[in-house]
Structure 1
Amino acid sequence: MSDNVLLGKLEGVFIRFKEVSQLITDPEVMSDMKRFVKLSKEYKELDLVDSAAREYRNALETIAESKEILATESDEELREMAKMELEELEVKLPEMEQNIKLLLVPADPEDSKNAILEIRAGAGGDEASIFAGDLYRMYTKFCESKGWKVSMSSCSEGTSGGYKEIVLNVTGTGVYGVLKYESGVHRVQRVPQTETQGRVHTSAASVAVLPEAEEFDIDVKESDIRKDTYCSSGPGGQSVNTTYSAIRLTHNPTGIVVTCQDQKSQLKNYAKALVELRSRIYAMEHQKYLDEISSKRKTMVSTGDRSAKIRTYNYPQGRVTDHRINLTLYNLSAIMDGDIQEIIDKLQVEENAERLKESGL
């Protein structure tokens, strides 16, 4: 793509940026909270493009000036400075262009949202529950390293440790845009503690990542929800109480059921359960979008089909393989300790390449 074509596309962005800048200060728009929230998000995205565009234009102007100096100037010191500046910017320019192209590709509107992370033990009995617990620790440590807050919404413990099922709320900046790559079936190959013959067993756990629906995303009628209360249960200590603080919400039109028992307050449990219920209803609509893009992007195959096997953790070989991009890493212990950023980075690079191809940029 030539400089002129890219600058032409950026001119359209600049016009829209000015328009949105004026709209978000309009009292009529500010009084319409749904519209104001939507435009505020668009403003932030356009602001990023505008900043990158200004840097790009300055670089092009400096390159033109440096070439002019080299063509007309006889002073050797000036020529040397212009030459150095030209060489430095010509190296940076392709990276700037690539960054702008990615910013111009429409982002997944859910990427900036918080997420609900659900881990369920699959085939493999007790070993699958233990592995689900290992994944829980892996994600908790990863989220902590990102400065995100993780809170447990509900869980069902395994008989020999780990979890049959655990649901987490993850809040922070751009959570869903990062964790969405983790949706799918995770498989583990190792010798279980209960195995006396030393044979390697294969077990699995499924991970589902849902964008947390905001209040303005979907309207859930209170009359459609049945609320039940019951006593909390858990591993002991503070998480068990004798009051009816645990909440179960059933959405009658869809049959979706959510529970929350991690807070001592019934009111707090109800608020968290309502967020999860709203998100699960919203996810049904979002799934249509995921099904559409999963046919185009191999990085998202698992999100379109949660039964798809995405990753294998092989303990005897200390190996982790992500099957979507044929990536194999031999640092299993670090990955299980929460160091999954490298895998996500490579998945994002692959997806960005696919998105650019789709857009024709």
Structure 2
Amino acid sequence: MFYRPVFHRGKNVVLGMLVPYLPKSPTVTFQRFGFHWSSTYNPTRTLHTGMPLMAKLLTVDEIFARRSLQDYLRKLETDYGECLKPVNNMTDQGGEEELRAKRTQMSRLAPLIKALETKQKEMAETESLLKDEDPDLRELAHLEREACLNDIHDIRQTILGLLIPEEEIDQSDLVLEVTAGVGGQEAMLFTAEIFDMYQGFAQHHGWAFDVLEHMTNEIGFHGLRHASASISGPQSYKRMKFEAGVHRVQRVPKTEKQGRMHTSTMTVVVLPQPTEISFTINPKDLKIETKRASGAGGQHVNTTDSAVRIVHLPTGVVSECQEGRSQIKNKEKAMKVLRAKLYSMKLEVETSKRCNARKVQIGTKARSEKIRTYNFAQDRITDHRLGKSLHSVGDFLLGEELLEEMNSSLEDFSNQEMLMDLLGEKDY
């Protein structure tokens, strides 16, 4: 079991006992797609250029009604037939891997497509019985029709989940960074609350949460200038990547005597954490410095060279760590952050070429956008990318069900965008 320590206003308060979150295993394995979609949901999205764009989150049935999807499925079936033909003199290894990937995808899709066609035929036969003169037969046909509708919806949903391409970095762990922005003391207090929220979110999912940096304010009040943490666990980056960006708080600070509303900001950065095998750094490109740690911690912190600063010379990227007393452990943590930063820079260059039209911003690109507002007076949290609002700021900051709900909506929308890009529909 986990106990969640919350460092807020100088007190180490144990909120309660948390049981690790264990999601139920579905009978069919597929990506999340449209679990909470509604045909009337019509959010406002914002591009990274700041241009508002009205669009709605489509239902599964609305997507299947599109001709582009039907054409795409027919093309996949044709390609699958070609893939099954024996290929002579296959010398291109890349072509062989692509062929194997197509076969694997269609071996999972083909039975579902056939099952969908069968159910649709059953549906047509059942609807003809609804006009029968026998009332008992009509009632039986009505029940059969409802069962067919549910089966068709489930099969369609599974097909869409299989069509969405999986991104390799979604299986990565991550490095989380939070930094106070505009608003002085209030911004630092808000940064501490957000950092605690993500610690609660990690515990809600049963992920490991390892603090790498924790720079508090030196004046005396209990806020947070900057902090970073390593988060590892199943789908941790996939679930956290939508949190990157500028978070804004609107509330009356306790130090405000005239009751005026203040607006403060803080920034969240989510960096995928690569493995040493998938991403290597040449040691010759590093400049490693040691120094005495500053801040609270007693004589040991101030009299030993435990703080580590690493500079990546080709890019100028810097990573520092002085959390622990051990110079070796601080170096390991600093290298972990540096590797994540360099890996994120590499991914940003690659993905910007093929995903520059993506409307739901994730990763480091979101840092220039105010993605979410926490309004305490109205007890409201609004995500500006979706135009979606939830209530109960206190419960949201626990990092449990409400944050999970917001993340799920963002993932649904991101899945829809990836699918529409795959179908060649830029405006929908």
TM-score after normalising by structure 2: 0.66
Report the Cα offset of residue 262 of structure 1.
3.3
Deviation, structure 1 residue 130: 0.8
Q: How does 1:58-73 map to 2 (within 5 A)?
A: none
**SS of the residue aligned with 1:95?**
helix
| 1:88 Cα offset (Å) | 2.5
Distance, in Å, in 1 between the alignment partners of 2:212 and 2:417 is 35
Instruction: Look up the SS of the partner of 2:368 in the other structure.
Output: coil
Give the counterpart of 1:139 among 184, 187, 198: 198
In the alignment, structure 1 residue 360 sits paired with structure 2 residue 405: no
Q: % of aligned pairs identical?
A: 33
Deviation at 1:296, TM superposition (A): 2.2
- Whole-angstrom CA distance in 2 between matches of 1:195 and 1:242: 40
Q: CA deviation at 1:226?
A: 1.2
Counterpart code for 1:136: F
Supply the distance in 1 between the matched residues of 2:83 and 2:276 (Cα, whole angstroms): 26
The question of whether the paired residues in 2 share the 8 Å contact of 1:186 and 1:205 is answered with: yes
**Structure 1, residues 302-354: CA drift from partner, whole Å, max 9, x if none?**
74241111111111111111111111112211111113111111111122222
Other-structure match for 2:272: 211
* Correspondence 1:147-296 to 2 at 5 A: 147-158=206-217, 159=219, 160-233=221-294, 236=297, 240=301, 242-292=303-353, 295-296=356-357
Contact 1:67 1:82 in 2 (8 A): no
CA RMSD of aligned residues (A): 3.9
Distance in 1, Cα, partners of 2:79 & 2:324? 49
Mapped to 2, the partners of 1:324 and 1:59 lie a distance apart of 34
Task: Give the unaligned 5+ runs of structure 2.
Answer: 1-66, 85-92, 129-138
Structure holding more helix per residue: 1
Counterpart residue number, 2:88: none
- Are 2:38 and 1:6 equivalent residues in the alignment? no
Give 1:293-304 correspondences, 5 Å limit. 295-300=356-361, 303-304=364-365
- Which residue type is aligned with residue 304 of structure 1? K
Which one is further off, 146-155 or 254-263? 254-263
Q: After alignment, is 284-293 or 323-332 more displaced?
A: 284-293
Question: What are the Cα deviations for residues 243-285 of structure 1, in whole angstroms up to 9, with x where unaligned?
Answer: 4333221111111111223344333332232222122112112
Taking the aligned partners of 1:62 and 1:298, their CA distance within structure 2 comes to 35
**Aligned with residue 120 of structure 1, among 179, 184, 187:** 179
Give the residue type in structure 1 aligned to 2:167: D
Is residue 96 from structure 1 mapped to residue 159 from structure 2 by the alignment?
Answer: no
C-alpha spacing 1:134/1:86, structure 2 compared with 1 (3 Å): same
Tell me, in whole angstroms, the C-alpha distance in 1 between the residues paired with 2:174 and 2:144: 44
1:350 aligns with 2:393: no
Letter in 2 for 1:331: S
Give me the whole-angstrom Cα distance separating, in 2, the residues matched to 1:127 and 1:211: 29
Cα deviation, residue 63, structure 1: 6.9
Whichever residue aligns with residue 235 of structure 2, its letter is G
Say whether the 8 Å CA contact 1:142–1:338 is kept in structure 2.
Answer: yes
Q: Distance in 2 between matches of 1:349 and 1:271?
A: 36
Whole-angstrom distance in 2 between the partners of 1:193 and 1:239: 36
Q: Residue 24 of structure 1 aligns with which residue?
A: none
CA contact (8 A) 1:293 1:300 kept: no
Structure 1 portions without partners, runs of 5+: 18-28, 30-34, 72-79
SS in 2 for 1:273: helix
Higher relative contact order (CA 8 A, sep 6+): 2
TM-score, normalised to structure 1, is 0.77
Q: Are the counterparts in 2 of residues 132 and 162 from structure 1 also a CA contact under 8 Å?
A: yes
Rounded to whole Å, the distance in 1 between the matches of 2:251 and 2:146 is: 53
Q: Determine helix, strand or coil for the equivalent of 1:199.
A: coil
